Amino acid sequence: MLNLPANQVPITSLDLETTGLQASGDRVVEAAVVRLEPGGVLRQRSYLINPGYPIPEASIEVHGITDAMVSDAPSFTAILPRLTELIEGAVLIAHNAPFDIGFIEAECARCGLTPPKPLVVVDTLVLARKVFRLPRCGLGTLSERIGLPLPNAHRALADARAALVLYQTMLQQAEAGRIPSTRELLESVEVSADIRGALKAAHAAQAPVVIDYTSFAAQGMLSIVRTITIRTVGRDKVKAWCHLRGGERTFRLDRIRRVMETSTPVEPAPPLPPDPS
């Protein structure tokens, strides 16, 4: 199943709100899961959970969940079967997944139950950092970048929905013209392409190349594609003629995700002006 296009497998987005940041001692106060089947069927569940002790004021300031709101709520043990039903057999996504997975495992350990077993876990925070090379990767910042309103941030269902839409956007923009498999997506996190080497080779051949680039100005997009002819490859920047803009541009190396051969002919770059010195 992991070799199928990633939008053709069940996907479950998970988000938790907690009494604090340490899974070893803090507890879950809200859990939400949103499961999307390949045919487009969407199921979602959100549960307030009684942690068994007062919620610290600092945590209430973050998510707004009070003791009064959870006073009659079920325990984590009571809602676990419903979470398990939507998690197992799916690719589980979460933004900063170790946090949510750590709390699920700790809560299960306390009550002597087995944690749900998804097909695999995909962290949208890691994808944003390592695959798209984005500089600011908070869920709110990324949601704003792709034009997704997040008016109820830090409530579990709103964040789980946002993480799902973010993941779908990443799938659409991860590869040119195709949806990668889940396995390919995970491998792209591990593989560090020789970006500098590819750029230097293109510079030596004076061959135009296509770069997949993360730009602060690319509102609505996680990355942009440019065809460039390279002028110089520096330690941390590339100077090039941008065939789309018809002018000289500078690109940061740490924001170039991929270097690819051009599939369509382009007009040759104009020669560099003579050095005034």
Residue 216 has pLDDT above 80, yes or no: no
Catalogue the E-assigned strands of the chain: 11-18, 28-36, 42-48, 91-94, 120-123, 209-213, 224-233, 237-242, 247-252, 256-261
Fold entry, domain 195-261 = SH3 type barrels. (2.30.30)
Nearest CA to 241 among 216, 263, 271? 271
Q: Which residues of 221-260 are buried (b: 16+ CB within 10 A; e: fewer)?
A: bbbeebbbbbbebeeeebebbbbeeeeeeebeeebbbbbe
Contact 134/169 with Cβ under 8 angstroms? no
Q: Looking at mean pLDDT, say which of 73-87, 128-142, 209-223, 261-275 comes out highest.
A: 73-87
Q: What are phi and psi of 33, to 5 degrees?
A: -130, 140
pLDDT digits (tens, 9 = 90+) for 122-168: 999 999 988 888 888 999 999 998 888 888 888 999 999 999 999 99
- Residue 263 confidence (pLDDT): 79
Q: How far apart are the first and last CA of the chain?
A: 61
For the chain, percent of residues with pLDDT exceeding 90: 66
- Residue 117 confidence (pLDDT): 96
Q: Looking at mean pLDDT, say which of 9-18, 200-209, 260-269 comes out highest.
A: 9-18
- Residue 234 confidence (pLDDT): 86
Contact 18/31 with Cβ under 8 angstroms? no
Residue 275 has pLDDT above 90, yes or no: no
Residue 43 has pLDDT above 90, yes or no: yes
CB atoms within 10 A of CB 276: 4
Residue 55 has pLDDT above 60, yes or no: yes
CB contact set of 61 (below 8 Å; sequence gap of 6+): none
**What does the alpha-carbon distance between residue 26 and residue 105 come to, in Å, rounded to a whole number?**
12
Domain residue extents for the chain: 6-188, 195-261
Select 6-188's CATH number: 3.30.420.10, 3.40.50.10490, 3.40.50.1820, 3.40.50.300.
3.30.420.10
